[in-house]
Structure 1
Protein backbone atom coordinates (compact mmCIF):
# COMPACT_ATOMS: atom_id res chain seq x y z
CA UNK A 1 0.00 0.00 0.00
CA UNK A 2 1.35 3.45 -0.90
CA UNK A 3 2.05 6.04 1.74
CA UNK A 4 -0.65 8.35 0.35
CA UNK A 5 -3.33 5.76 1.09
CA UNK A 6 -2.13 5.54 4.69
CA UNK A 7 -2.29 9.30 5.24
CA UNK A 8 -5.84 10.38 6.05
CA UNK A 9 -5.98 13.85 4.49
CA UNK A 10 -3.87 13.01 1.45
CA UNK A 11 -5.86 9.83 0.79
CA UNK A 12 -8.86 12.10 0.07
CA UNK A 13 -7.06 13.99 -2.73
CA UNK A 14 -7.89 13.51 -6.39
CA UNK A 15 -6.22 10.61 -8.19
CA UNK A 16 -3.75 12.72 -10.27
CA UNK A 17 -2.50 14.48 -7.13
CA UNK A 18 -2.03 11.19 -5.30
CA UNK A 19 -0.28 9.67 -8.31
CA UNK A 20 2.21 12.56 -8.36
CA UNK A 21 2.80 12.30 -4.61
CA UNK A 22 3.32 8.55 -4.89
CA UNK A 23 6.44 9.23 -6.95
CA UNK A 24 8.04 10.51 -3.73
CA UNK A 25 9.67 8.12 -1.28
CA UNK A 26 9.24 8.50 2.50
CA UNK A 27 12.43 9.00 4.50
CA UNK A 28 13.26 7.80 8.00
CA UNK A 29 15.17 10.05 10.38
CA UNK A 30 16.60 8.99 13.75
CA UNK A 31 15.89 10.66 17.07
CA UNK A 32 17.89 13.89 17.55
CA UNK A 33 18.52 14.31 13.80
CA UNK A 34 18.58 18.00 12.75
CA UNK A 35 16.27 18.50 9.77
CA UNK A 36 17.04 22.16 9.13
CA UNK A 37 18.90 25.11 10.66
CA UNK A 38 18.61 28.91 10.47
CA UNK A 39 19.86 30.29 7.18
CA UNK A 40 19.27 27.12 5.16
CA UNK A 41 17.11 27.24 2.06
CA UNK A 42 13.73 25.53 2.34
CA UNK A 43 13.90 22.08 0.77
CA UNK A 44 10.17 21.45 0.37
CA UNK A 45 6.81 20.92 2.05
CA UNK A 46 6.99 18.38 4.86
CA UNK A 47 4.35 15.67 5.40
CA UNK A 48 4.81 13.87 8.72
CA UNK A 49 3.86 10.18 8.62
CA UNK A 50 4.98 9.19 12.12
CA UNK A 51 7.01 10.53 15.02
CA UNK A 52 7.50 14.07 16.22
CA UNK A 53 9.73 16.98 15.21
CA UNK A 54 10.35 20.00 17.45
CA UNK A 55 11.00 23.41 15.89
CA UNK A 56 12.95 25.80 18.12
CA UNK A 57 13.86 29.46 17.75
CA UNK A 58 17.42 30.11 18.97
CA UNK A 59 18.35 33.55 20.29
CA UNK A 60 21.70 35.36 19.96
CA UNK A 61 22.53 34.39 23.56
CA UNK A 62 22.06 30.69 22.81
CA UNK A 63 18.74 30.36 24.61
CA UNK A 64 15.96 28.72 22.67
CA UNK A 65 12.19 28.51 22.79
CA UNK A 66 9.95 25.79 21.43
CA UNK A 67 7.92 27.36 18.61
CA UNK A 68 5.83 24.29 17.83
CA UNK A 69 5.85 20.52 17.47
CA UNK A 70 5.07 18.74 14.21
CA UNK A 71 3.18 15.45 14.55
CA UNK A 72 1.41 13.38 11.86
CA UNK A 73 -1.32 15.48 10.26
CA UNK A 74 0.32 18.79 11.23
CA UNK A 75 2.33 21.17 9.08
CA UNK A 76 5.70 22.88 9.49
CA UNK A 77 4.96 26.59 9.18
CA UNK A 78 8.65 27.38 8.62
CA UNK A 79 8.64 25.24 5.49
CA UNK A 80 5.33 26.64 4.22
CA UNK A 81 6.43 30.24 4.78
CA UNK A 82 9.75 29.58 3.08
CA UNK A 83 8.10 28.06 0.03
CA UNK A 84 5.44 30.75 -0.32
CA UNK A 85 7.65 33.72 0.56
CA UNK A 86 11.06 32.54 -0.64
CA UNK A 87 12.75 33.08 2.73
CA UNK A 88 15.31 30.81 4.38
CA UNK A 89 14.65 28.94 7.62
CA UNK A 90 14.90 31.07 10.76
CA UNK A 91 14.55 28.22 13.27
CA UNK A 92 15.97 24.76 13.91
CA UNK A 93 14.05 21.48 13.56
CA UNK A 94 15.10 18.38 15.48
CA UNK A 95 13.52 14.93 15.56
CA UNK A 96 12.24 14.47 19.11
CA UNK A 97 11.55 10.80 18.28
CA UNK A 98 12.41 8.54 15.35
CA UNK A 99 10.28 9.94 12.53
CA UNK A 100 9.08 9.05 9.05
CA UNK A 101 8.27 11.86 6.65
CA UNK A 102 7.94 12.89 3.03
CA UNK A 103 9.45 16.08 1.63
CA UNK A 104 7.48 17.45 -1.34
CA UNK A 105 10.02 19.35 -3.49
CA UNK A 106 9.32 22.95 -4.45
CA UNK A 107 8.40 22.21 -8.08
CA UNK A 108 5.95 19.45 -7.17
CA UNK A 109 4.50 21.56 -4.33
CA UNK A 110 3.66 24.44 -6.67
CA UNK A 111 2.41 22.11 -9.39
CA UNK A 112 -0.04 20.60 -6.90
CA UNK A 113 -1.12 24.03 -5.66
CA UNK A 114 -1.94 24.95 -9.27
CA UNK A 115 -3.66 21.70 -10.26
CA UNK A 116 -5.36 20.31 -7.14
CA UNK A 117 -7.97 22.28 -5.20
CA UNK A 118 -7.94 19.57 -2.54
CA UNK A 119 -4.20 19.97 -2.02
CA UNK A 120 -4.59 23.77 -1.80
CA UNK A 121 -7.26 23.39 0.89
CA UNK A 122 -5.09 20.92 2.81
CA UNK A 123 -2.05 23.22 2.76
CA UNK A 124 -3.88 26.39 3.74
CA UNK A 125 -6.03 24.71 6.40
CA UNK A 126 -2.90 23.29 8.02
CA UNK A 127 -1.19 26.69 7.69
CA UNK A 128 -4.12 28.47 9.37
CA UNK A 129 -4.20 25.95 12.22
CA UNK A 130 -0.48 26.37 12.82
CA UNK A 131 -0.75 30.16 12.73
CA UNK A 132 -3.43 30.01 15.43
CA UNK A 133 -1.12 27.95 17.64
CA UNK A 134 1.70 30.44 17.02
CA UNK A 135 -0.58 33.31 18.08
CA UNK A 136 -1.39 31.36 21.24
CA UNK A 137 2.32 30.98 21.94
CA UNK A 138 2.87 34.72 21.52
CA UNK A 139 -0.06 35.45 23.83
CA UNK A 140 1.19 33.03 26.48
CA UNK A 141 4.76 34.33 26.46
CA UNK A 142 3.58 37.95 26.45
CA UNK A 143 0.84 37.82 29.05
CA UNK A 144 1.19 34.66 31.19
CA UNK A 145 3.63 34.59 34.07
CA UNK A 146 6.40 31.97 33.96
CA UNK A 147 4.84 29.96 36.80
CA UNK A 148 1.50 29.86 34.96
CA UNK A 149 3.19 28.64 31.76
CA UNK A 150 5.12 26.08 33.76
CA UNK A 151 1.97 24.82 35.51
CA UNK A 152 0.24 24.49 32.13
CA UNK A 153 3.18 22.53 30.75
CA UNK A 154 3.22 20.13 33.71
CA UNK A 155 -0.51 19.44 33.46
CA UNK A 156 -0.44 19.09 29.68
CA UNK A 157 2.50 16.69 29.45
CA UNK A 158 2.25 14.67 32.66
CA UNK A 159 1.44 11.01 32.05
CA UNK A 160 -1.44 9.02 33.57
CA UNK A 161 0.69 8.55 36.69
CA UNK A 162 0.95 12.33 37.11
CA UNK A 163 4.65 12.37 36.26
CA UNK A 164 6.38 14.62 33.76
CA UNK A 165 9.76 13.39 32.56
CA UNK A 166 11.68 16.44 31.36
CA UNK A 167 14.85 18.18 32.43
CA UNK A 168 14.65 21.74 33.73
CA UNK A 169 16.48 22.89 30.58
CA UNK A 170 13.84 21.20 28.41
CA UNK A 171 11.05 22.80 30.43
CA UNK A 172 12.72 26.20 30.07
CA UNK A 173 12.81 25.77 26.29
CA UNK A 174 9.18 24.68 26.22
CA UNK A 175 7.90 27.72 28.15
CA UNK A 176 10.35 30.33 26.86
CA UNK A 177 12.36 30.94 30.01
CA UNK A 178 15.75 30.13 31.55
CA UNK A 179 16.68 26.96 33.44
CA UNK A 180 17.54 28.93 36.58
CA UNK A 181 14.09 30.54 36.57
CA UNK A 182 12.40 27.16 36.14
CA UNK A 183 14.41 25.76 39.03
CA UNK A 184 13.23 28.55 41.35
CA UNK A 185 9.60 28.26 40.23
CA UNK A 186 9.57 24.48 40.69
CA UNK A 187 10.95 24.86 44.19
CA UNK A 188 8.27 27.42 45.02
CA UNK A 189 5.56 25.13 43.61
CA UNK A 190 6.96 22.25 45.66
CA UNK A 191 6.90 24.35 48.83
CA UNK A 192 3.22 25.13 48.12
CA UNK A 193 2.48 21.39 47.85
CA UNK A 194 1.55 21.54 44.17
CA UNK A 195 4.31 19.26 42.86
CA UNK A 196 7.30 17.25 43.91
CA UNK A 197 10.37 17.16 41.74
CA UNK A 198 13.61 15.28 41.32
CA UNK A 199 16.23 14.87 38.65
CA UNK A 200 14.37 14.96 35.33
CA UNK A 201 10.97 14.34 36.91
CA UNK A 202 8.07 16.46 38.17
CA UNK A 203 5.10 14.79 39.89
CA UNK A 204 1.70 16.46 40.16
CA UNK A 205 0.42 16.53 43.75
CA UNK A 206 -2.36 19.09 43.43
CA UNK A 207 -3.83 19.42 39.92
CA UNK A 208 -6.51 21.86 41.08
CA UNK A 209 -3.85 24.06 42.62
CA UNK A 210 -1.90 24.06 39.35
CA UNK A 211 -5.08 25.04 37.49
CA UNK A 212 -5.57 27.91 39.94
CA UNK A 213 -1.99 28.97 39.27
CA UNK A 214 -2.66 29.06 35.53
CA UNK A 215 -5.68 31.31 36.08
CA UNK A 216 -3.81 33.60 38.47
CA UNK A 217 -5.60 32.62 41.66
CA UNK A 218 -2.62 31.11 43.47
CA UNK A 219 0.80 32.32 44.71
Structure 2
Protein backbone atom coordinates (compact mmCIF):
# COMPACT_ATOMS: atom_id res chain seq x y z
CA UNK A 1 0.00 0.00 0.00
CA UNK A 2 1.35 3.43 -0.94
CA UNK A 3 1.94 6.14 1.66
CA UNK A 4 -1.01 8.13 0.25
CA UNK A 5 -3.31 5.10 0.43
CA UNK A 6 -2.23 4.46 4.04
CA UNK A 7 -2.94 8.10 4.87
CA UNK A 8 -6.47 7.83 3.47
CA UNK A 9 -7.05 4.57 5.37
CA UNK A 10 -5.90 6.12 8.66
CA UNK A 11 -7.75 9.40 8.16
CA UNK A 12 -11.02 8.72 6.25
CA UNK A 13 -12.01 12.36 6.73
CA UNK A 14 -9.68 13.20 3.84
CA UNK A 15 -11.90 11.21 1.48
CA UNK A 16 -14.83 13.42 2.50
CA UNK A 17 -13.09 16.48 1.06
CA UNK A 18 -13.91 17.80 -2.43
CA UNK A 19 -11.57 16.36 -5.12
CA UNK A 20 -9.85 19.72 -5.68
CA UNK A 21 -9.12 20.07 -1.96
CA UNK A 22 -7.80 16.51 -1.72
CA UNK A 23 -5.49 17.24 -4.64
CA UNK A 24 -4.26 20.36 -2.83
CA UNK A 25 -3.51 18.27 0.27
CA UNK A 26 -1.61 15.63 -1.72
CA UNK A 27 0.42 18.27 -3.54
CA UNK A 28 1.38 20.11 -0.35
CA UNK A 29 2.05 17.03 1.80
CA UNK A 30 5.50 16.73 3.36
CA UNK A 31 6.33 13.10 4.10
CA UNK A 32 8.72 12.33 6.94
CA UNK A 33 10.23 8.98 7.97
CA UNK A 34 11.47 9.48 11.53
CA UNK A 35 13.44 6.91 13.58
CA UNK A 36 12.42 5.85 17.08
CA UNK A 37 13.46 8.20 19.87
CA UNK A 38 13.79 11.25 17.61
CA UNK A 39 12.70 14.73 18.64
CA UNK A 40 9.83 15.86 16.39
CA UNK A 41 9.13 19.20 18.08
CA UNK A 42 10.22 20.98 21.24
CA UNK A 43 9.36 23.84 23.59
CA UNK A 44 9.53 27.32 22.04
CA UNK A 45 9.89 25.88 18.52
CA UNK A 46 7.71 27.29 15.74
CA UNK A 47 4.93 24.98 14.54
CA UNK A 48 5.39 24.46 10.82
CA UNK A 49 2.39 22.26 10.12
CA UNK A 50 -0.21 19.75 11.19
CA UNK A 51 1.07 16.16 11.61
CA UNK A 52 -0.85 13.10 10.45
CA UNK A 53 0.59 9.92 11.99
CA UNK A 54 0.44 7.17 9.37
CA UNK A 55 2.68 4.61 11.09
CA UNK A 56 4.31 4.48 14.53
CA UNK A 57 3.47 6.85 17.38
CA UNK A 58 4.53 10.04 19.16
CA UNK A 59 4.82 10.67 22.88
CA UNK A 60 3.98 14.25 23.86
CA UNK A 61 5.33 15.45 27.19
CA UNK A 62 6.01 18.52 29.27
CA UNK A 63 9.57 19.00 30.51
CA UNK A 64 10.65 20.85 33.65
CA UNK A 65 13.94 22.76 33.96
CA UNK A 66 15.22 20.08 36.38
CA UNK A 67 14.85 17.43 33.68
CA UNK A 68 11.70 15.78 34.99
CA UNK A 69 9.06 14.93 32.42
CA UNK A 70 5.27 14.62 32.59
CA UNK A 71 3.76 12.55 29.75
CA UNK A 72 0.66 14.27 28.38
CA UNK A 73 -0.60 11.88 25.71
CA UNK A 74 0.36 9.63 22.80
CA UNK A 75 -0.54 10.19 19.16
CA UNK A 76 -1.16 7.00 17.20
CA UNK A 77 -2.28 6.51 13.56
CA UNK A 78 -5.63 8.18 12.94
CA UNK A 79 -5.30 10.59 15.87
CA UNK A 80 -4.30 14.24 16.07
CA UNK A 81 -1.86 16.23 18.20
CA UNK A 82 -3.79 18.96 20.00
CA UNK A 83 -0.58 20.78 20.92
CA UNK A 84 0.11 21.17 17.20
CA UNK A 85 -3.44 22.18 16.35
CA UNK A 86 -3.64 24.67 19.23
CA UNK A 87 -0.33 26.23 18.21
CA UNK A 88 -1.53 26.57 14.62
CA UNK A 89 -4.90 28.00 15.66
CA UNK A 90 -3.37 30.42 18.16
CA UNK A 91 -0.28 31.30 16.09
CA UNK A 92 1.93 30.28 19.02
CA UNK A 93 5.13 28.27 19.39
CA UNK A 94 5.14 24.77 20.82
CA UNK A 95 4.88 24.53 24.62
CA UNK A 96 5.66 20.81 24.88
CA UNK A 97 7.96 18.19 23.40
CA UNK A 98 7.11 15.43 20.91
CA UNK A 99 9.28 12.30 20.59
CA UNK A 100 8.75 9.24 18.40
CA UNK A 101 8.16 6.01 20.33
CA UNK A 102 8.96 3.81 17.33
CA UNK A 103 9.92 4.26 13.68
CA UNK A 104 7.26 6.67 12.51
CA UNK A 105 5.82 7.84 9.20
CA UNK A 106 4.32 11.33 9.32
CA UNK A 107 2.59 13.49 6.78
CA UNK A 108 3.05 17.12 7.73
CA UNK A 109 0.43 19.47 6.29
CA UNK A 110 1.81 23.01 5.97
CA UNK A 111 0.10 25.67 8.05
CA UNK A 112 -1.38 27.50 5.05
CA UNK A 113 -3.13 24.35 3.83
CA UNK A 114 -4.29 23.48 7.36
CA UNK A 115 -5.91 26.93 7.54
CA UNK A 116 -7.64 26.27 4.22
CA UNK A 117 -8.95 22.89 5.36
CA UNK A 118 -10.56 24.43 8.44
CA UNK A 119 -13.00 25.99 5.96
CA UNK A 120 -14.22 22.47 5.13
CA UNK A 121 -16.92 21.36 7.62
CA UNK A 122 -15.83 17.69 7.59
CA UNK A 123 -12.21 18.47 8.42
CA UNK A 124 -13.09 21.14 10.96
CA UNK A 125 -15.44 18.73 12.73
CA UNK A 126 -12.74 16.03 12.74
CA UNK A 127 -10.15 18.33 14.32
CA UNK A 128 -12.43 19.71 17.01
CA UNK A 129 -13.99 16.34 17.87
CA UNK A 130 -10.57 14.82 18.59
CA UNK A 131 -9.55 18.07 20.27
CA UNK A 132 -12.44 17.65 22.73
CA UNK A 133 -11.54 13.99 23.38
CA UNK A 134 -7.91 14.86 24.06
CA UNK A 135 -8.85 17.71 26.40
CA UNK A 136 -10.98 15.25 28.39
CA UNK A 137 -7.97 12.91 28.65
CA UNK A 138 -5.78 15.78 29.85
CA UNK A 139 -8.35 16.74 32.47
CA UNK A 140 -8.18 13.16 33.81
CA UNK A 141 -4.39 13.45 33.91
CA UNK A 142 -4.59 16.73 35.82
CA UNK A 143 -7.04 15.18 38.28
CA UNK A 144 -4.75 12.19 38.82
CA UNK A 145 -1.64 14.32 39.35
CA UNK A 146 -3.42 16.78 41.62
CA UNK A 147 -5.58 14.49 43.73
CA UNK A 148 -4.17 10.95 43.66
CA UNK A 149 -1.19 9.64 45.59
CA UNK A 150 1.71 8.39 43.51
CA UNK A 151 1.21 4.83 44.77
CA UNK A 152 -2.37 4.92 43.45
CA UNK A 153 -1.20 6.13 40.06
CA UNK A 154 1.55 3.49 39.93
CA UNK A 155 -0.91 0.72 40.81
CA UNK A 156 -3.27 1.93 38.07
CA UNK A 157 -0.40 2.07 35.58
CA UNK A 158 0.62 -1.53 36.29
CA UNK A 159 -2.91 -2.85 35.76
CA UNK A 160 -4.16 -3.74 32.31
CA UNK A 161 -0.74 -4.47 30.83
CA UNK A 162 -0.75 -8.23 31.33
CA UNK A 163 0.56 -10.39 34.16
CA UNK A 164 4.23 -9.72 33.38
CA UNK A 165 5.45 -6.26 32.43
CA UNK A 166 8.84 -5.99 30.75
CA UNK A 167 9.65 -2.47 31.84
CA UNK A 168 12.32 -0.61 33.79
CA UNK A 169 11.69 1.46 36.89
CA UNK A 170 12.88 4.48 34.93
CA UNK A 171 10.28 3.89 32.20
CA UNK A 172 7.54 3.70 34.82
CA UNK A 173 8.84 6.87 36.44
CA UNK A 174 8.84 8.64 33.06
CA UNK A 175 5.21 7.65 32.46
CA UNK A 176 4.23 8.97 35.88
CA UNK A 177 6.28 12.16 35.68
CA UNK A 178 8.23 11.06 38.76
CA UNK A 179 11.80 9.95 39.50
CA UNK A 180 13.19 6.41 39.46
CA UNK A 181 14.19 6.33 43.14
CA UNK A 182 10.65 7.03 44.34
CA UNK A 183 9.09 4.52 41.94
CA UNK A 184 11.63 1.86 42.98
CA UNK A 185 10.78 2.45 46.62
CA UNK A 186 7.05 2.12 45.92
CA UNK A 187 7.57 -1.05 43.89
CA UNK A 188 9.61 -2.54 46.73
CA UNK A 189 6.69 -1.79 49.03
CA UNK A 190 4.28 -3.43 46.58
CA UNK A 191 6.53 -6.52 46.55
CA UNK A 192 6.65 -6.66 50.36
CA UNK A 193 2.83 -6.60 50.40
CA UNK A 194 2.71 -9.50 47.93
CA UNK A 195 1.16 -7.41 45.16
CA UNK A 196 4.02 -7.89 42.67
CA UNK A 197 7.26 -9.80 42.17
CA UNK A 198 10.21 -7.78 40.91
CA UNK A 199 12.85 -9.03 38.47
CA UNK A 200 15.41 -7.52 36.18
CA UNK A 201 13.51 -5.04 33.99
CA UNK A 202 10.36 -6.98 34.87
CA UNK A 203 7.34 -6.63 37.14
CA UNK A 204 5.06 -9.64 37.65
CA UNK A 205 1.54 -8.95 38.92
CA UNK A 206 0.69 -11.37 41.76
CA UNK A 207 -2.42 -9.73 43.22
CA UNK A 208 -4.35 -7.67 40.63
CA UNK A 209 -7.34 -7.30 42.97
CA UNK A 210 -5.05 -5.78 45.59
CA UNK A 211 -3.61 -3.36 43.04
CA UNK A 212 -7.12 -2.36 41.99
CA UNK A 213 -8.04 -1.61 45.60
CA UNK A 214 -4.89 0.47 45.97
CA UNK A 215 -5.55 2.32 42.69
CA UNK A 216 -9.05 3.14 43.94
CA UNK A 217 -7.64 4.70 47.09
CA UNK A 218 -7.70 1.73 49.43
CA UNK A 219 -4.78 0.21 51.28
**Would you call these one fold, judging by a TM-score over 0.5?**
yes
Q: Which residue of 2 aligns with 1:213?
A: 214
The number of residues matched between the two structures is 214
Moved more, 137-146 or 69-78: 69-78
Q: How far off is 1:11 after superposition?
A: 4.4
Tell me, in whole angstroms, the C-alpha distance in 2 between the residues paired with 1:64 and 1:8. Answer: 30
Gaps of 5+ in 2: none
Gaps of 5+ in 1: none
Q: How far off is 1:80 after superposition?
A: 0.9
Q: Which residue of 2 aligns with 1:22?
A: 26
Off by >4 Å, runs of 4+ in structure 1? none
Q: Which residue of 2 aligns with 1:101?
A: 106
Q: Which residue of 1 aligns with 2:91?
A: 86
Q: Which residue of 2 aligns with 1:203?
A: 204
Closer, same or farther: CA 29–138 of 1 in aligned 2, 3 Å: same
Tell me, in whole angstroms, the C-alpha distance in 2 between the residues paired with 1:146 and 1:153. Answer: 10
Of the candidates 39, 42, 52, which is equivalent to residue 34 of structure 1?
A: 39
RMSD between superposed Cα atoms in Å = 1.5
Q: How far off is 1:46 after superposition?
A: 1.1
Q: How far off is 1:5 after superposition?
A: 2.8
Q: How far off is 1:98 after superposition?
A: 0.8
Check whether the contact 1:9–1:122 (CA below 8 A) recurs between aligned residues: no
Describe how 1:149-188 pairs up with structure 2 within 5 A.
149-156=153-160, 158-159=161-162, 162-188=163-189
Tell me, in whole angstroms, the C-alpha distance in 1 between the residues paired with 2:209 and 2:72. Answer: 27
Check whether the contact 1:151–1:213 (CA below 8 A) recurs between aligned residues: yes
TM-score normalized by structure 2? 0.92
Tell me, in whole angstroms, the C-alpha distance in 2 between the residues paired with 1:31 and 1:75. Answer: 19
1:26 alignment partner, SS class: strand
